[in-house]
Amino acid sequence: MTIQAIFNNTIKVSEQELENICSILLKSHHSLDQILEYDDGRRYQLWSKGDAKPIILDVTKTATDKSHLIITEITDCWLELRAVRNILESEVDNSLHSDIPKSPQEQLMSDIRQMETEIKSDNEFFQLMSKGLVDASILSYYNLDEEVRKNVLQ
């Protein structure tokens, strides 16, 4: 069973007004007896003056304080997501990208295309080397591995 005390002289004060209220209470010879701060963010101040009833200030946070907390939380989340993204981009898992091995014919055709582009880019060298027309398919065929060559001929 919990006992709750309800005080009639509780004054709700924002954090911005707290300093002004405290100075008024000090000028009226009140003394600060207790400051209560709870984990959920509630804050209370107990002020008293001799035999008079104590005054309890319920210090509430303003809307700007809450928006500041939200902004800092969003910023923290953004920074964490950015760090995760950087880690994922730097360590690309090659097992996720399964390369399907090319068939021998596909290897030959891709090598022929590469050889044709090389011949076009340096045509004079290849003509000097072969003393005439250069056949890209023959050069590509001889650049293949021996096993791939056998499989192309089958």
Nearest to 45 by CA among 2, 10, 8: 10
Other C-beta atoms lying within 10 Å of the C-beta of residue 52 = 10
Please give the Cα distance from 79 to 121 (Å, whole number). Answer: 47
Q: How far is CA 100 from CA 23, 48, 94, 97, 106, in A?
A: 78, 82, 13, 9, 12
In CATH terms, the fold of domain 10-61 is 3.30.720
Apex 110 CA angle, 107 and 115, nearest 5 = 120
**Tell me, what's the pLDDT at 103?**
82
Cβ atoms of residues 66 and 50 within 8 Å: no
Helices (runs of H) and strands (runs of E) counted in the chain = 6, 4
Query: Domain limits of the chain?
Result: 10-61, 104-153
pLDDT in tens, the chain (154 residues): 444 455 567 888 888 888 888 888 888 888 889 988 888 778 899 988 888 888 888 888 765 556 777 888 888 888 898 888 888 887 665 555 556 777 888 888 888 888 888 878 877 776 766 666 667 777 788 778 888 888 888 7
Ranges assigned E (strand) in the chain: 10-14, 31-37, 43-48, 55-60
Predicted TM-score (pTM) of the model is 0.37
**Beta partners for residue 36, in sequence order:** 44
